[in-house]
Structure 1
Amino acid sequence: MKTEDFYCDEVLSGKTEVNKVLDTENVLAYHHTRPFYPVHIVAIPKKHIPSFLHLEESDDGLLLELLRVIREVAATVTEENGACKVITNIGDYQDSKHLHFHIVAGKPLR
């Protein structure tokens, strides 16, 4: 299992270029670099937060901004594809230990 933080180490540092969907002061949404679905967008806070379970009261404003971005991206994906899923993983299901949400549509590619 990977334990590094792909989002901080690669995406937010600029080492890995991504196709941005929405970029705000505190949140980035971009097309997944190795998609599992025909439409696969990832939304991440720019602040390192290990997982959904690590959110603190001081993160409330960031969480609201993150949810606004997810809602906007999900609305666009749903408009274009008829439906979408919003997914986050916790614990052993979470490869990269940085809070992130997947906005996906279509049948899995793998």
Structure 2
Amino acid sequence: MTTIFDKILSGEIPCDEVFSDNKCLAFKDITPQAPTHILIIPRKPIPSLQDIKKEDQELLGHLLLKGTEIANAAGLESWRTIINTGEEAGQTVFHLHIHIIGGRKLSWPPG
């Protein structure tokens, strides 16, 4: 099944790109939940954390490292890193993605 993120990766749908390399793409969320809300998606199509394999270990580490670099570049001193897994957890696009959210005080619990 083709997702909106697949269409963004192929260039069919434009995005407000923040970072790109051969493993991932980061862009601003079109419905931000905070002043800074960036999504990081792997170029490899992985539906969710439920679908990761041992071979994805390096990619997952890369995504988290890039998330920290992107948050720092955005001037964030504090931020929340979120990966929703499954519909009941709030996952709406079934292409693994990381939310970097910050720029305001965030409450807990989140939902």
- Please give the TM-score of this superposition, normalised by the length of structure 1: 0.82
Is residue 32–residue 40 contact of structure 1 (8 Å, CA) maintained in 2? yes
**What CA distance in whole angstroms lies between the structure 2 residues aligned with 1:81 and 1:70?**
11
Higher helix fraction (1 or 2): 1
Deviation at 1:13, TM superposition (A): 1.8
Look up the SS of the partner of 1:37 in the other structure: coil
Match of 1:83 among 78, 82, 91: 78
After TM superposition, where is structure 1 displaced by more than 2 Å over at least 4 residues in a row? 74-77
Question: Which has the bigger relative contact order, CA under 8 A and spacing at least 6?
Answer: 1
Q: Residues 32-47 of structure 1 correspond to what in structure 2 (within 5 A)? A: 32-47=29-44
Deviation at 1:74, TM superposition (A): 2.4
Residues 34/58 of structure 1: CA separation in 2 closer, same or farther (3 Å cut) = same
**What CA distance in whole angstroms lies between the structure 1 residues aligned with 2:71 and 2:50?**
22
Is residue 38–residue 107 contact of structure 1 (8 Å, CA) maintained in 2? no
1:67 aligns with 2:64: yes
Deviations 1:4-37 (A, max 9, x none): 62211x2112122112111111111111122222
- Please give the TM-score of this superposition, normalised by the length of structure 2: 0.81
**What CA distance in whole angstroms lies between the structure 1 residues aligned with 2:55 and 2:77?**
36
Is residue 37–residue 107 contact of structure 1 (8 Å, CA) maintained in 2? no
Q: Which stretches in structure 1 are left out of the alignment for 5+ residues?
A: none
1:22 aligns with 2:42: no
Aligned length: 103
**What CA distance in whole angstroms lies between the structure 2 residues aligned with 1:37 and 1:25?**
28
**What CA distance in whole angstroms lies between the structure 2 residues aligned with 1:4 and 1:39?**
27
Question: What percent identity do the matched residue pairs reach?
Answer: 32
Amino acid at match of 2:82: I
Q: For the aligned residues, what is the CA RMSD?
A: 1.9
Is residue 4–residue 96 contact of structure 1 (8 Å, CA) maintained in 2? no
